[in-house]
Amino acid sequence: MALMQFAKDEVVVAGPDCTEAAPCIGRDAIKKGYIDALGAGRATLPLTDQRFDGKRLRTHGETILQAQAQAAPVQLRGGHVFEFRNGQIARSYVELDSRDPQTAAFLAQRAAATALARR
């Protein structure tokens, strides 16, 4: 089962329910917020490339990112990064490609909003 590939304490920031504001931590949360979303077609893994360096698997393609569960999804260039520890996925997250103009604009807008929030 795919869920057993995740470490018991893994943190996932990907899919519609595992957001930056509320990541899924642990297998139960990952199953509910990520694996079940994949199975229901609410999250996709559109890959155009993948590379493994022995510690991290990096995928590239179009990714859907939601900063918060209720926020509108944004289609961006990037991919997922899966970090491994002891043969299991220890952490996964979305890595965005700032070379893409739409993605760069999104990142700049997010940085500006973060800067305002910290004031």
Per-residue confidence (pLDDT) for residue 118, from 0 to 100: 82
Please determine, for residue 41, whether its predicted confidence score (pLDDT) is greater than 70: yes
- On whether the CB atoms of residues 37 and 44 are closer than 8 A, the answer is no
The CATH number of the domain where 65 resides is what? 3.10.450
Residue ranges making up the domain that contains 15: 2-117
Per-residue confidence (pLDDT) for residue 25, from 0 to 100: 93
Percent of the chain scored above 70 by pLDDT? Answer: 87
Residue ranges of E strands in 37-105: 47-52, 56-65, 74-85, 88-96
Question: Given CA atoms 98, 103, 108, 111 in this order, what sign does their dihedral have?
Answer: negative
- pTM score of the predicted model: 0.65
How many domains is the chain partitioned into structurally? 1
Per-residue confidence (pLDDT) for residue 89, from 0 to 100: 87
Please determine, for residue 27, whether its predicted confidence score (pLDDT) is greater than 80: yes
